Amino acid sequence: METKIQLTKTKERIYNLSLAMSLILLFIISTTLLNLDMNHFWSRLYNFPEVIKLFWDLNFDSFGPGIEQLAISVMLGICGLVIGGPVAFVLAFLAADNLAFSTTLSFIIKSGVSLIRAVPNLVLMLIIVACLGMGYTAAVVSLTLSSVGFLTKTFISTIEEQDKSIADTLSATGANWLQVVVHGFLPNVIPSFLVWITIRMESSVAESISLGVIGVGGIGMLLTRAIRQYDYATVSMLIIIIFTGMLILELSLNYIKKRIKS
Amino acid sequence: MDSKGVPINQGKKLKLSLTIIFMCVVASLPFFYLDVNIVEVMTSLPKLIRFFIHNFLPPNFSNLRAYMEPVIETLLFAIVGTYISAVLSFILGILMSQLSPNLVIRVFIQSFVTFLRNIPVLIWASLLVFVFGIGNIVGLIALSLATVGILSRMYAESIDEIASSKLEALTASGASYLQIILHGLLPEFIPAWINWTLFSFEINIRASAILGTVGAGGLGILIQTNLNLRNFHEATTLIIILVVMVLMTEMAISNIRSRIYH
């Protein structure tokens, strides 16, 4: 005779079911409120195969400029990281809870950084361009601010994970604040910091490419131009360049990460 | 006979110094090529703050009522986008992990997801607007695609972790593929799934706000238009609304997180 054993209690089943139902309800409500324009979309979707055919040829003339602009985007990303990294480094040590010698300073730094992170980088860039004008300097300033935002937060969380007793022990032997930082925390924290920096490198380059879309330079700008001119062949070429570039970047950074961890 | 002995670390020190020199070159080259002056970048910050205080404050709250709709729209975009990408990523994640039914499928999906992930959100958005025209749905698809790229990878990693340790027992007792997934994987996976989904919601809120700049709807286009028209005080109001929205979402999410993990 077959006996069926219920794997989950009935109460739990009802709870799970109602949770699932409310989530589905939330989805339905949100979708209806959003007023999605389905008809227009379906008609465009119908043309999709023809559009794909247009993308099929590649404009090899744009390969050279494409690579050059990609290099520019990567370099802008590097610049932002090179300035942002050390700044974040200093700020993080000043703001971490288990190290800070001034709670007000810590609070100011933490809120400032949250504020920078709350504003999307594109909006930040638009503000900076309004002030400094289009150009590489504006792009670098914007990327620096984003890098500082990201790295300070992650550096702080790494530092705060460290055991406070290290600081206490060292200060008990008479070390001042700087010595506690350099001899106590630094050795433990540097590998993680390097990993965060490699992670940020990828985001920085991706941001740099995206920022190009508003016209500061780099491959994003080239892409927008090609789109405006309805130059399908160039667009596909540039997309391939962007994808390949980012892929190579990701693979090299993964390699570096593995080397750091070993 | 040489009784002094040869230091073992010679090779390592050389390698380290070479790496550091290489890093310095890589770090400084972009600045020279792009003609960006580091000092200029550093002094831009006070300039920026002065410009901001002068031109962007005080914010003009007169049109607040009119802005409520784009705000809600941005929020809804993020919600619906998160739903769609969570479901899609779950399916793709399984197909990408060790639990994939077929090696060919696994490799194919992995390449597809890498393609999605390595192209920045804004580039996706520009591309989709280019193909499908401006509209709500386009923004939604761009949002989902970019998030699916990131999420599937994260899900696949968590699934691999679970699969390698806990599912052997189930297979040994003769469970079918579907049973393994439903009763073995799912319960273990849910905490990681919730964690990553909340994380993607945070990303989606920011991305949703930005997508407006390429014509896909939301607050972004309002901010950009106001900035282009030099209506700085209006722009500040919008930016403040955006920041408040992002910060509130972050708080709500940390709240949910601490609730779940007690």
Using a CB-CB distance cutoff of 8 angstroms, which residues of chain A are in contact with residue B49? none
- Mean pLDDT confidence for A235-239: 88
* Cα separation, A9 vs B243, whole angstroms: 44
Identify the pLDDT of residue B156. 85
Q: Do residue A127 and residue B56 have CB atoms under 8 angstroms apart?
A: yes
The backbone region for B7, taken as left when phi is positive above 0, alpha when psi lies in -120 to 50, beta otherwise, is beta
B25 lies in some domain = no
CA distance A171 to chain B (A): 31
Identify the pLDDT of residue A127. 85
B36 to A79, A128, B30, B33: CA distances (angstroms): 9, 16, 8, 8
Exposed/middle/buried for A194, CB within 10 Å: 0-12, 13-18, 19+?
middle
Identify the pLDDT of residue A201. 92
**Candidates A23, A79, A229, A231, partner chain B, best to mutate (most B CBs within 10 A):** A79
B163 lies in some domain = yes
Confidence of residue A149 (pLDDT cuts 50, 70, 90): very high
Domain around B158: 76-208
Q: Is the pLDDT of residue A147 over 90?
A: yes
Nearest CB to B214 within list A38, A82, A213: A213
Touching A: B residues 141-180, CB under 8 Å = none
- Mean pLDDT confidence for A14-22: 83
Identify the pLDDT of residue A214. 82
Using a CB-CB distance cutoff of 8 angstroms, which residues of chain A are in contact with residue B249? none
Q: Do residue A44 and residue B131 have CB atoms under 8 angstroms apart?
A: yes
B258 touching chain A per CB within 8 A = no
Hey, where are the domains in chain A? 10-54, 58-261
CA distance A3 to chain B (A): 17
* Cα separation, B9 vs B156, whole angstroms: 40
DSSP assignment of chain B equals ---S---TTHHHHHHHHHHHHHHHHHHHHHHHHHT--HHHHHHHHHHHHHHHHHHH-S---TTHHHHHHHHHHHHHHHHHHHHHHHHHHHHHHHHHSTT-S-HHHHHHHHHHHHHHHTS-HHHHHHHHHHHH-SSHHHHHHHHHHHHHHHHHHHHHHHHHHHHHHHSHHHHHTT--HHHIIIIIIHHHHHHHHHHHHHHHHHHHHHHHHHHGGGTSSSHHHHHHHHHHTT-HHHHHHHHHHHHHHHHHHHHHHHHHHHHH--
Q: What is the mean pLDDT of chain A?
A: 84
Nearest CB to A36 within list B36, B137, B223: B137
B5 lies in some domain = no
Touching A: B residues 192-211, CB under 8 Å = 206-207, 209-210
B50 lies in some domain = no
Touching A: B residues 27-46, CB under 8 Å = 27-31, 33-38, 40-42, 44-45
Q: Looking at this predicted complex, what is its ipTM?
A: 0.78
Identify the pLDDT of residue A48. 77
Residue of B nearest to A244 (CA): B118
Q: Do residue B119 and residue A35 have CB atoms under 8 angstroms apart?
A: no
Q: Could you say which residues of chain B have pLDDT below 50?
A: 1
- Retrieve residue A37's tokens: 């324009």
Identify the pLDDT of residue B262. 56
B170 lies in some domain = yes
Identify the pLDDT of residue B259. 78
Say which CATH number the domain at B190 has. 1.10.3720.10
B190 touching chain A per CB within 8 A = no
B37 lies in some domain = no
Q: Do residue B51 and residue A76 have CB atoms under 8 angstroms apart?
A: no
Q: Which of the residue ranges A8-22, A210-224, A229-243, B172-186 would you say has the lowest mean pLDDT?
A: B172-186
* Cα separation, B234 vs B230, whole angstroms: 9
Using a CB-CB distance cutoff of 8 angstroms, which residues of chain B are in contact with residue A224? 126
CA distance B137 to chain A (A): 6
Q: Which residues contact B217 (CB under 8 A, 6 or more apart)?
A: B73, B77, B135, B136, B139, B211
Q: B192 or A147: which carries more pLDDT confidence? A: A147
**Maximum CA extent, chain B:** 90
pLDDT tens digits, B193-249? 888 888 888 888 888 877 776 665 677 777 777 777 877 788 888 888 888 888 888
Confidence of residue A31 (pLDDT cuts 50, 70, 90): confident
CA distance A177 to chain B (A): 27
The arrangement of secondary structure in A58-261, i.e. its CATH architecture, is: Orthogonal Bundle (1.10)
Q: Do residue A250 and residue B33 have CB atoms under 8 angstroms apart?
A: no
Q: Is the pLDDT of residue A208 over 70?
A: yes
Q: Of A215, A167, A208, whose CA–CA distance to A189 is shortest?
A: A167
Identify the pLDDT of residue B217. 60
* Cα separation, A162 vs A165, whole angstroms: 9
Contact B238, B219 (CB under 8 A): yes
Q: Do residue B247 and residue A118 have CB atoms under 8 angstroms apart?
A: yes
Provide the residue count of chain B: 262
Specify the number of domains making up chain B: 1
pLDDT tens digits, A81-139? 998 999 999 888 888 877 767 788 888 888 889 888 888 888 888 888 888 888 888 89
Identify the pLDDT of residue B9. 63
Identify the pLDDT of residue A146. 93
B230 lies in some domain = no
Touching A: B residues 72-131, CB under 8 Å = 72-73, 76-77, 79-80, 83, 114-115, 118-123, 126-127, 130-131
